[in-house]
Structure 1
Amino acid sequence: MKRVVAAVMSSLPLLAHAANATAPAPAVSAAGSLLQVFIGLVAVLLLIAATAWVAKRFGVTRGGTSSVLQVISSASVGARERVVVVEVGESWLVVGVAPGSVNALMTLPRCEIQSPAAPSLNASFAAGLQHLIEKSPLGDKRRGK
């Protein structure tokens, strides 16, 4: 009796495996898999583009603005070198910036910058347009001459 029970018990895993093997595996289509990968790629690219648009639209910048430190002006003096004026508290630091190094060049007391008055583009454009209208033959017809 023990032998019969042992034989039946040892054959149960084989029977379970045989039951699973009888179900045919679904055929996988290469075109369907390729389409699924392509749709996933397009979705990821659209997500990246949407994130970049939102960041640009709402002005997301790296790092926060500091009330203690502010860049006043910057000028390029070479291919990768710059001179930067930074306001720190009540003084200005003139700093030389190059790849791999930042050197303090000078310390200045804080002063007010008066930017040169740029000519108004709208006013100069309007004056130029008025001059052209007066010179043209159509300008005379509009005024009733």
Structure 2
Amino acid sequence: MPAGSSTGSLLQTLFALILVLAVLGALAWFLKRYGPKVGGGNANVRVVGSLNLGGRERIVVVEVGNEWIVVGASPGRINALATMPRQDAQHGDHGGTNAALAPHSPAAHSFADWLKQTIDKRK
């Protein structure tokens, strides 16, 4: 009699465990599908453009409010390189290639020119 009793108890425990895991899975799916959205919904921050420098290094222009922040991104670090006022898109361009610098700085014809000017200023 003890062998049958332990087998029934083990099956009952296994069934309860499967039921609890199924309920947790269903709850996770429901929250992911219908729950509150976390992150990514901030309309004040957007990526204007990016340039790959190597395998894992990039320069990214991020728009935050009315300002553009030029950011250097690598696997272990993110550094703010420069800031400038938000630029309007010109000639159907989305603001990445023909943007001018702040009014007190000379105009750059492309992001590469602007980056070169910024690096030359730091030397």
Q: TM-score, normalised by structure 1?
A: 0.43
Q: TM-score, normalised by structure 2?
A: 0.49
Higher helix share: 1
